Each structure stands twice: as structure tokens, then as C-alpha cells.
């Protein structure tokens, strides 16, 4: 991942060139390719230009740029109405939600080169949900963490949800099978529970939180099998709580676990009950490759 200084420099160079561009047709694709490059991302590997979307009348429209589950953008020429562009983007989101809800991006944006408007698709209480600024201010907003979803936790959540095969890791697979055999958990809640565990074990090895092996240490500290499910639910709720809304008691209890705003921990799951063998298997999951 790039350093903050590298990000700022790349964003400054990007803004200096594109703030005075005017022609959407000629410069739009290059604009977005280079926007992704600021974050060290090859756009071709993750996002599509002119992504087709069907409306209720079966007419096909095309989204300017679409990164499944993460980001959607509409681009206009200079001095075009960005309010109308936002409405157009929201219509695309509505159609994607109708035809493929799992692909809905968490963020969407509109731009006319000189201006950049970014929105969170599902507003969250107590945090910023929209950012409108001149393109020259892009480095400032990157510094503030507004664009962390481009390379941070949310992208990793999506990567896990898209690519992680539950059976690929033997330890996780055994735990999944043991819980499934009980026949009391719905497939959705079981898969979401396992996906959360995969993310937390991934985070342990990837410097997502303040230090590595934070989740493994948490599991090791849960000595009582009959309270493990409750403690996991408390952790999930904490991970879904923005910093400014966390209590001092909870912040101390789960010190080091940062807010995960990708929606992975938003849904409330029932408490999973574990046997002593399953408890041990969960701890052992931290050792899979």
C-alpha cells in the first residue's frame, strides 16, 4: 500500500491536470483510470466502464464506471448539472438493487472534472455521508480517510465475501460443517458468521487493526465456552459502532479493534452456541494458511 505522502503527491498531480479538463467523451476514461491509480489500483482489474444496467422496461443503460460492491460513478462534461448526474447514478443503483442486490456499491460519485461529489449509498447516523469539494481538495479528503474504502477495510471485506471459499481452509471448513450439522442455523446466518470470522483472521495477518493477532488473542481470552457466542456478538456490535459512539467501557474491553464500516458487521445475528470441541476448533482456525 502507498504511504500517505505518496497518496497525497499522486492526488495533487492528478488534480492539477484534470481540474481544467472539460470534455467528458475525450478524457473521462483516462480520468478514472488515473483516479484508481492514485490508490495503487489497476482499474481494469476491479471496475468496468459502461457497465450495462436494465431498467424495468428492459431498456439498457450504461454506468460510466462500476466496481461491484464498492463504487459507482457518473461523469459529466464541465459545467453540467451534477444534481441531475447524482439522480442518474441513484437510478442505476435502484436498478442494480432490483436485479442484483449483492452487487450494490457502498459508495457512489459524480464529477465534472473540476468538482467531485461522493456519497455513501446507505447513510449512517453520526458520521459524514456526503462530501462535495473542488478537485484540488482531493488530497485533503484522502488524508482525512474519506477514500479509505478504495484500498482499506471495505475492499478487503468485499474480497473475502467474493473470493473466500469456506472449505478452502480446513479448520474453518470443519467448524462450518460442525455448526451446519446441528441443523438449527439458516444458511445465510451461518455463511455470514463464517465470513466474519474469515475477515477477522485475515485482519490478524494483514495489519487491518492496530496490531496483528488481535482477534486470536481475543479468542484465547474467552475461557468459558458457554459465553463465547455472547462475547463474539459483543465484538461484532463493537466493530459496527463508529468511534464517536463507543462507550469508554467497551472501548477498553475491545481495545485495538477499529470501526469496520463496510457493513459486514451490521446485521444482528443470533448467538451461536459452541461445544468445547468447537471452541477449540475456532481457536485453531487462527493457524490456517
Do 75 and 130 sit in the same domain of this protein?
A: yes
Final residue before a domain boundary, out of 146, 168, 185: 146
Q: What is the CATH number of the domain that holds 27?
A: 3.90.1570
Q: Which residues, 6+ apart, have CB-to-CB distance to 123 below 8 Å?
A: 129
Q: How many structural domains are present in the chain?
A: 2
Please check whether residue 203 lies inside any domain of the structure. Answer: yes
Do 53 and 94 sit in the same domain of this protein?
A: yes
Please check whether residue 199 lies inside any domain of the structure. Answer: yes
Final residue before a domain boundary, out of 126, 146, 166: 146
| Span 81-120, pLDDT tens digits | 999 999 999 999 999 999 988 889 989 999 999 999 999 9
Do 221 and 136 sit in the same domain of this protein?
A: no
Please check whether residue 238 lies inside any domain of the structure. Answer: yes
User: What is the Cα–Cα distance from 161 to 152, expressed in whole angstroms?
Assistant: 15
Question: Which pLDDT belongs to residue 165?
Answer: 45
> With bands split at pLDDT 50, 70 and 90, how would you rate the model's confidence at 65?
very high
Please check whether residue 244 lies inside any domain of the structure. Answer: yes
- Report the pLDDT averaged over residues 227-249: 92
Residue 222 CA: distances (Å) to CA of 137, 142, 176, 213, 282: 46, 38, 20, 15, 11
DSSP state of 225: G
Please check whether residue 151 lies inside any domain of the structure. Answer: no
Do 123 and 196 sit in the same domain of this protein?
A: no
| Span 168-179, pLDDT tens digits | 456 777 788 888
Domain assignment of residue 193, given as a range: 156-287
Phi/psi for 44 (5° steps) reads -60, -25
Do 176 and 57 sit in the same domain of this protein?
A: no
Residue among 151, 162, 273 nearest 207 (CA)? 151
Handedness of CA 92, 95, 96, 102 (dihedral sign): positive
Do 179 and 275 sit in the same domain of this protein?
A: yes
Q: Is 20 exposed, middle or buried (0-12, 13-18, 19+ CB in 10 A)?
A: exposed
Please check whether residue 231 lies inside any domain of the structure. Answer: yes
Please check whether residue 277 lies inside any domain of the structure. Answer: yes
Question: Which pLDDT belongs to residue 12?
Answer: 96
Do 9 and 142 sit in the same domain of this protein?
A: yes
Do 160 and 140 sit in the same domain of this protein?
A: no
Q: Which residues, 6+ apart, have CB-to-CB distance to 279 below 8 Å?
A: 222, 225, 228
User: What is the Cα–Cα distance from 88 to 73, expressed in whole angstroms?
Assistant: 10
Please check whether residue 273 lies inside any domain of the structure. Answer: yes
Final residue before a domain boundary, out of 146, 178, 207: 146
Do 107 and 19 sit in the same domain of this protein?
A: yes
Do 35 and 124 sit in the same domain of this protein?
A: yes
Q: Which residues, 6+ apart, have CB-to-CB distance to 282 below 8 Å?
A: 175, 197, 219, 228, 274
| Span 169-217, pLDDT tens digits | 567 777 888 888 888 888 788 888 988 888 888 788 766 777 888 999 9
Do 116 and 160 sit in the same domain of this protein?
A: no
Do 12 and 134 sit in the same domain of this protein?
A: yes
Amino acid at each position: 500500500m502507498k504511504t500517505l505522502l505518496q497518496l497525497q503527491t499522486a492526488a495533487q498531480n492528478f488534480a492539477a491536470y484534470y481540474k481544467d479538463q472539460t470534455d467528458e467523451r475525450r478524457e473521462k476514461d483516462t480520468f478514472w483510470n488515473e483516479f484508481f491509480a492514485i490508490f495503487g489500483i489497476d482499474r481494469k482489474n476491479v471496475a468496468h466502464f459502461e457497465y450495462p444496467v436494465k431498467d424495468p422496461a428492459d431498456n439498457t443503460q450504461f454506468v460510466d464506471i462500476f466496481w461491484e460492491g464498492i463504487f459507482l460513478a457518473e461523469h459529466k462534461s464541465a459545467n453540467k448539472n451534477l444534481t441531475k448526474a447524482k439522480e442518474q447514478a441513484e437510478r442505476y443503483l435502484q436498478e442494480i438493487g432490483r436485479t442484483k442486490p449483492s452487487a450494490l456499491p457502498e459508495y457512489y460519485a459524480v464529477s465534472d472534472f473540476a468538482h467531485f461529489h461522493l456519497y455513501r449509498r446507505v447513510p449512517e447516523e453520526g458520521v459524514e455521508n456526503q462530501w462535495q469539494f473542488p478537485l484540488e481538495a482531493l488530497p485533503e479528503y484522502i488524508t482525512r480517510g474519506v477514500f479509505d474504502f478504495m484500498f482499506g477495510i471495505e475492499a478487503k471485506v468485499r474480497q473475502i465475501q467474493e473470493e473466500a471459499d469456506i472449505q478452502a481452509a480446513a479448520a474453518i471448513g470443519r467448524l462450518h460443517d460442525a455448526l451446519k450439522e446441528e441443523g438449527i442455523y439458516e444458511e445465510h446466518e451461518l455463511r455470514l458468521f463464517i465470513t466474519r470470522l474469515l475477515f477477522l483472521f485475515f485482519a490478524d495477518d494483514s495489519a487491518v487493526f492496530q496490531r496483528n493477532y488481535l482477534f486470536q488473542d481475543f479468542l484465547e481470552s474467552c475461557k468459558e465456552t458457554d459465553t463465547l457466542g455472547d462475547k463474539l456478538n459483543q465484538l461484532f456490535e463493537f466493530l459496527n459502532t463508529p468511534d464517536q459512539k463507543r462507550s469508554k467501557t467497551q472501548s477498553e474491553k475491545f481495545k485495538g479493534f477499529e470501526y469496520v464500516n463496510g457493513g459486514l458487521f451490521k446485521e444482528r445475528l443470533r448467538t451461536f452456541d459452541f461445544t468445547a470441541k468447537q471452541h477449540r476448533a475456532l481457536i485453531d482456525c487462527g493457524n490456517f494458511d
